[in-house]
Amino acid sequence: VLAIAPISATAVAENESASPTAFVYVASSPSSNTFEINAYGVSSDGELTVIPGSPFPTDVSALTSSSKYLFGTNGVDIDSFSIAGDGAIAEVSSINAQQLNQYDCGGPFDIFVDRTGAMVYDMDYIGNICANNPYQSFSVDKTSGQLGYIGVSAAASPGFATSLSFLPNNKYAYGSSCLFMTGPEIYAFQRTADNSLNHLNINPAMPLAPTGDYYCPGGAAAPDKANHLAFVVLPMNGNTQQPTGGPSQLAVYTADGSGNLTTNSSYKNMPATAVTDVYNFAASLSGNYVAVAGTNGVQLFHFNGANPLTRFTALLPISGVTQLAWDNADHLYAISPTSGKLYVLTVTATKVTEAPGSPYSITSPEGIAIAQR
């Protein structure tokens, strides 16, 4: 059942009636070469309250977070911010990640944390011989939040195109891509003894496609429980090597104890998305839902473990969403740079509703991170 309220501009709540259940941080660019972080506390019903001091002037556009520290990058540096009890942030350290790749090109593109927040990783765009993408690893000092460089993955490829999604065991992490030079690929990394990432030699089969066609995967989404992952796959024509024109679908894979992946997904049982071009997708931490954002809006699906995903909602009227994030209470956050909005949805087993106060106006939102409480 879909019960989303009409979209209308609404002011952010100014009063705090209870302790926040999470903090939401959105990096934005209100004017040319100016960046800031908009910070909010989340109430139990999903309503947001502006954190005192917000927006905070910064020089970052991509974000990730643990419960204690917020991290951001401008494509060269990775900055660490402490998170106070009321959600206010303060920069505590910065490290030049680009300089560490020794090739004087590229830099941190996507940044992400492990399941515990003890490590920060980045996809180092063209950080290897100015052509391939490796993954850099940084430890987080528990007291200061300062990052310590551990190393870079020996494996590098133009096909390593996204942040990685860790399984709940925090041992294996996955991504996927489909480039002309590398073809359809689901790739995996294993954390080593020093918590750096080592490429895992796996070659999982793609979902069964109609005769003569194949699927191109993108990204990876793993919930906080069980060893299952969701992937968006786009149907491709085997002769022209171009999209067939059919909708993207959602595949499910299961990891074994060694990190290998298997799937029963096929064109016959994978649900189709209605969003047209997919921009982003994310699994809820509860493991119950997968949200997909694309050209025409946002759509939700039920995550059913190793079984095929099933459609939950029709297309929600939220356009231009490029990033999605979840908190522990099944609130879904969606940012739209084109409309300059942050949307908050409350998801239950039977319906999706827009949280009180949503949407919130933010000029040119570029990145989002949730600090769980």
- pLDDT tens for 249-291 read 999 999 999 999 999 999 999 999 999 999 999 999 999 999 9
pLDDT classification of 181: cutoffs 50, 70, 90: low
**More confident position, 67 or 224:** 67
Is the pLDDT at 10 greater than 60? The verdict is no
pLDDT classification of 2: cutoffs 50, 70, 90: very low
Contacts of 164 (CB under 8 A, 6+ apart): 112, 121, 123, 135, 173, 174, 175, 189, 197, 220
Q: Report the share of the chain in percent with pLDDT over 90.
A: 90
- Give the separation between CA 357 and CA 10, rounded to whole angstroms: 5
- Give the separation between CA 219 and CA 162, rounded to whole angstroms: 6
Average confidence (pLDDT) over 293-321: 95
User: In 3D, which of 189, 253, 187, 241 has the Cα closest to residue 215?
Assistant: 241
Which pLDDT score is estimated for 18? Answer: 72
Average confidence (pLDDT) over 75-102: 96
Using the 8-state DSSP alphabet, how is residue 158 labeled?
Answer: T
Which pLDDT score is estimated for 37? Answer: 98
Average pLDDT of the chain, as a whole number: 93
User: In 3D, which of 302, 280, 300 has the Cα closest to residue 368?
Assistant: 280
Q: Report the share of the chain in percent with pLDDT over 70.
A: 95
User: In 3D, which of 140, 191, 194, 182 has the Cα closest to residue 164?
Assistant: 191
